[in-house]
Each structure stands twice: as structure tokens, then as C-alpha cells.
Chains A and B, each alone.
Chain A
Amino acid sequence: MRQVAAGALIGALLAGAATAAPAPMQPASAAHATATAPLVITYLSREQTNPSRASLLEPVDAHYGLQGAEFGLQEINNSGRFLGKRYELVKVVVPADGDLAAAARIALRRHSLIVADLGAKDLLTLADLAQAQSAVILDARTSDTILRQADCRANVFHLLPDWAMRVDAIGQYLAKRNWQRWFVFSGATPEDQAYAAAVKRSAARFGAQIIAEKTFHPSSDDPEGSREQIQAQLAGATQATADYDVLFVADTTNAFGDYLLYNTAAPRLLVGTHGMVAEAWDSQFREYAARGVLYRFYKSAAREMTERDYGNFIAMAAFGDAVIRGGKSDAAAIAAYFRSNRFSLAANKGEGLSFQPWDQQLRQPLLLFGPRMLVAMAPAEGLGVDQQHSECRRIH
């Protein structure tokens, strides 16, 4: 079962029949310990309308994220079976206009380990439910800095890096290359503006100079059908009075960024949400056994693994680790384990990853990727908002 309509699923939950994952592989030998009751993890998401994309290289897939979680389930079951551990995934996917809170309340009655493949607004709705206060919510998808800052929640752990971490990874690299004159070119959404704010923060940190700042309003909001219109606009919009080294693009919804290359006023590099990007994962990453992960994911999902899939995959891996290595099975103990210095997640980055205590965001090396190839890896330490500057006050 790929995806479950919320109504049907809630019925199933109430009837006590959890939607089990595909059965784990049969034990290979008598040496496999007898399985105890499975640990149940709930995947929570919302159906999406087609995301905007410009290039057909960008796949549109309704199962983004979900297939990452399903893959994670396979992986932790394949390991767990040797130690008598078993996991199940309950999938709750509400319709695009569905009531997330209602579905989540019902799911939380039975199970409190959540993989949240949700946008920022839905994530906060979930985290603030009374029933969620003793839950462990692994945010597998968002990058919003505010969710790690003023809007942080004690019951939420973030698997993917926020804008501040990403922009710092790029800023650090630009500083190393001495490409210190930045033109900040952003879209008009609140997320784009938040990204642009992170760019300005990073410029101050790394001694870069913001020589121009512009908010771009595409003439069409249908990027799939408006190439000429958007491109015609861009040459003018990217003109600056002073010279710059890079155009720092803040287009978090992919409204125009794919059209920028070769259409800017000056022949300059692109970085940010387009051009050289900072990512937790890329389908072309192959180091630290990432190649093996991509291979196994492809066998399971018949497509490349996106960063969102990776977020969901490592969320499952974190729960798997809490059970196998931490020896935990209830939510409070798992949360304590995630906060402890015992937690060290192997996630194909060459080192164990842990949550920053001040915002519960996973500290990880970031991949700086060009369109086809890794440019550099940014070290995990020192990216994003540190403890001293954190505005998160709800985590102790």
C-alpha cells in the first residue's frame, strides 16, 4: 500500500488494525532472535498538489518522502531482524485540503513516534496538539529557520538543515574562494525572504559584502509554461550598479531559479537555492557508502533518492537506532536518548550525527553541489545559528 486516504486509515486505526509495512525478509537462520512486538512508527503527511518545476529533469512524484520512509523501514527491519527487533510503519496521509489535526489526534491515541513529512504550518499544528506533548516528532522535511528558533518545540527534532546552516555552508565556501561580493536575488514569498535574511546574516559572519539586493516578481507564476516571459525579465532584473562575484538566489519554491543560468545581466556564478546548492543529500552523492544507499533506494522506489526522501529515511534510521543501540522503546526514553551524547547516527556523512541541544536540529556536514557534481563538503561544526545566538527558548 503506497498511500492511504485519511478517512480509510483512521477507520483502520480505530479498528485496531495498524497498517503494517511489507513483511520484513524472512529470518535466514535459527540464529535470529525471536521477534518481540514491533515498534510502531507513524508517518504523517499531506497529499500535495503538483509542485512547481521548470525542468522536466525534476521528477514529480506523489510519493516523495513516503518512499524515503518506506525505504528506511526496510533498512531498519533488515538490520533489526538479526537482533529480534521489528518495526512497522503506519501511514497517515491527509488530503490536500484535509484536517491534519483531526487525523493526527487519532493517530496519536495509539502511537507517539512520528515521522512528520509536513510543511512548516502543519508541523506546528501537529507539535502543538495536546496529544502530541509526550510524542517524539521527527521533522523529516522542513528547512525553515524559524522552526529552530522562535517557533522551536521541545517535542520536535529536525533531520534536515535549515536555511541558516545551508547558507553558512555556501558562505564559508565563498569566503574560502574570496568571492565576497554578493548580489542577493530573492523571490517574494515569506520563505524566500527568510532565506534572504539568512544570506545577509551569513555575509556578516563571513565578511562578505552585499552589493545589491532585489526581490523578483515573476511575470508568470506558472514556470512550466512561461519560459520566454520569465527569461526576458531576468536580464533586466539582475542588473546591478556595482560588480558582484555571485548571484545569491533565494527562490525556495522554485518559481524562477531554474531560468537564471545564462539569463543574468552579467556572466556570474549562481549559488543559493539554485546553482551551487547546500544540501543534506543529493542523488549524485556517492561517498561514505551513499552509493549503496542510492542503489538500494532505487531498487525499492524505482527512482532517484531526493533530499526529502533522505530526511524521511534518516528519521526512520534514528528511531531504529534508538531501539537497537539505545535499547529504548517508549517515547520519553527515545527523546532522552536523542538528546544524550550516546546518540550518534550513521547517515552516510562520514561521521556520527547528533542533535544540537539548543534547537534539536541534526548537526551534519553539508554537500555543496553543482548541477551534476559535488563541489565540496562543508564540515558539520559551526554552521547555522549557534547556541549563543539561538532564539529557541522551549527546549531545555
Chain B
Amino acid sequence: MGKPLAALCSLLAVTAVGQAQAGKLFISDERDNTVTVLDADNLNTIKSIPVGRRPRGLVITPDGKEVLVCAGDDNRIDVIDTASLTVTRQMDTGPDPETLGISASGNTVYIANEDDSMVTLLDRATGKALGHIPVGIEPEGIAVNADESLGVVVSESSSMAHFFDPKSQKVTANVLVDARPRVVVFSPDEKYVWVAAEVGGTVEIINAATKQLEKKINFAVPSQRKEFLQPEGIKFSRDGTTAFVALGRANNLAVVNAKTYEVEQYIPVGRRVWQLGMSPDASRLYAVNGLTNDVSVVDVASKKVEKTVQVGRLPWGIAVMP
């Protein structure tokens, strides 16, 4: 695969590919105010860590040492030490942090302040604010490329992708997308950003250089109402040729050919599937099911659900230890 993907909202930041240490999965439970920790090998629950109120977006640092959890109703990030599995410190974020990203260097944290139409940049070590970037209404998904030359955040209510320069902290381009975009990710080669629009029911592909919309992916799950097709989390296979898209209340994952943008198949998972995570060796995909309070574990090779694991109530996001 290409460069490491950095800074995807509540998604895994993959670093040393092929690292074989026993991993952990961290799942935010929005209604329980906990983070459930699963053993990535046997999928047993290791611990349920109490965190601030309404935890949603979470991300693991590239060094694997910390998990940063947005506690939206407490206006802060709780920092979990991945060795002791305790909250060791907190960072003030400004109002209602929903999701966050982290730079490939691990030094800068990017936060979408949902209620404040703002992106906040924090210094990871000190927790100090490095700056604020005003964006559209209800910013949510956020991503930054590996060399931190380009960031992008989607505003859910304004229905836009706002590209920004992380260094100058300025918005550089605004692209209107389909209604209620919630997730944005860079393609593994960083040439494109993929935007999932919940109400629009589409994934749109924007050229990261020209900022032009190049392609739109539509979905059709048999026997599901069209308005239930709510694209959310996106994850790529290791070679970047396949993308997995969570389809929200349609209770399925779509398997998309990332070259032709054709939908190749659908994988039934739990109810209101939200965010996705990928194992470090890219063999297992984890799908977080909000309304069935569980995680579907998908074998990437066979595209089959291997196992379903119970977690806390209203699980939202997932971070996978690199």
C-alpha cells in the first residue's frame, strides 16, 4: 500500500504494516459513556473504560500508545493509555467535539467541533490549542494527508467538503456534496477523497488536486428502502483496490471496486452499521453496529462475517491498535 493513512475520524491509523503483536480494539459506546476494549485475537472483552459523556469519535496515535476519545457532552478529549487501559489525561477541545483525526507524525490532533462550526487543532503533547478554522455547520468527518499539506472536513448540515491547509490554518476550497456528509477519507494513494453522504445516500469521489467531483457511487441493497441507504464509515483493503462502505440503517456493508467504482457485493451485518476498522494485517474488517450494540468481524478475503461481538450501548466508532 501507499503511504500510511493519517488522521481519519475515528478510524485506525495504520503504521508499521505487518506488525504482529497482540492487538486491541477500542470501541466508543455513545450511550454508556465507555470505551469497550476487545482482544483482537480472541475478541474477548478486556475492559470497559469509563470516559466522559457521549463518546463518539476516537483515534489511536500512530505509536499505538494512546487512544484519544471525543467526549462531546463534556467538551473534552479523554486520553486512554493503551498499556494501563485507564484515562490518564484530558484535553479541552471547545464545544462538542464529535470526531477527530491525528497527523501521521502523531503531534497534531484535528477536532471537528460540531456545535461550533469549527475545526480545532491541538498539540497532542500539551493539549494546547494551535488554532481554529471556521467551517460549515456541524463539521464531522475529518482527514489529513500524511505530510500534513492538505486536510479536509465535511460539514453535515452545510453539506460541503472544506479543504484546508493545516499549516496556514485556512480553508482553501469548498465543494458542495450530497446531503449530510458524515465521513471523509483519503484514498490510499491520497489522490482522492471519498465523502459518504448519509441522506444523499452516496459516496462521492473528489480529486484532491483539482477539488473537482469526479465520481458518485450509488447503492441498492435488495429489499431495503432507499432512504435507509446511509453511507457512513469507509475502509480500504491493503492494496487499495477495494473499499468497504458501511451503509447505516441498510444494515449492510458495500464492497466497492476502488478502481471502477462499481459495487461488487453487499455483506449483511448488524443494525445501523456506523464506523469501520481494519486489522493491522488488513485481513479483518470490524463493523460497528449502533443499534444491535455489537461489532461484526468480517474476513476480508472471503467477505464473510466470522463473528459478532457484543459491546456497550450505541457503539459509534472504533480504533484498532497498530
- Partner-B contacts on A (CB < 8 A): 25, 28-33, 75, 78-79, 82-83, 289, 292-293, 295-296, 324-325, 344, 346, 350-352, 380
Contact = CB atoms under 8 A, between A and B. Distances in A.
Given A75-B157, A352-B199, A83 B138 contact: no
A296 B96 CA distance: 12
Contacts, number: 77
A31 B173 contact: yes
| Max chain A Cβ within 10 angstroms of own Cβ: one of B170, B200, B227 | B227
B114 interface: yes
Contacts of B227: 350-352, 380
Contacts of A346: 157, 159, 179-180, 199
B158 A82 contact: yes
Contact of B117 (A29, A32, A78, A293): A78
Given A296-B115, A352-B227, A31 B157 contact: no
Interface string B131-151: 001111110000000000000
Contacts of A28: 133-135, 170-171
Given A31-B172, A31-B173, A296-B115, A79 B157 contact: yes
Contacts of B133: 28-29
B66 interface: no
B99 to A, nearest CB: 13
B134 A25 contact: yes
Chain B interface residue count: which class?
Answer: 20 to 34
B174 interface: yes
B67 interface: no
B179 A344 contact: yes
Contacts of B124: none
Contact of B137 (A30, A32, A78): A78
Contact of A78 (B158, B199, B230): B158
A192 to B, nearest CB: 34
B291 to A, nearest CB: 12
B217 interface: no
Given A296-B115, A325-B159, 11 more contacts: A31-B172, A32-B171, A78-B136, A79-B137, A79-B157, A82-B136, A289-B157, A325-B176, A350-B230, A352-B179, A352-B200
Nearest to A75: B137
Contacts of B114: 292
Nearest to B134: A28
Interface string B82-107: 00000000000000100000000000
Contacts of A82: 135-136, 158, 160, 162, 171, 174
B156 interface: yes
B279 interface: no
Most buried by A among B133, B137, B173: B137
A324 B176 CA distance: 8
B33 interface: no
28 contacts: A25-B134, A28-B134, A29-B172, A30-B170, A31-B171, A31-B172, A32-B171, A79-B155, A79-B159, A82-B136, A82-B158, A82-B162, A83-B174, A289-B138, A292-B114, A292-B115, A292-B138, A295-B115, A296-B115, A344-B200, A346-B157, A346-B179, A350-B199, A350-B227, A350-B230, A351-B199, A352-B227, A380-B227
Interface string B147-189: 0000000011111101000000011111010011000000000
Given A30-B170, A351-B199, A352-B227, A289 B156 contact: yes
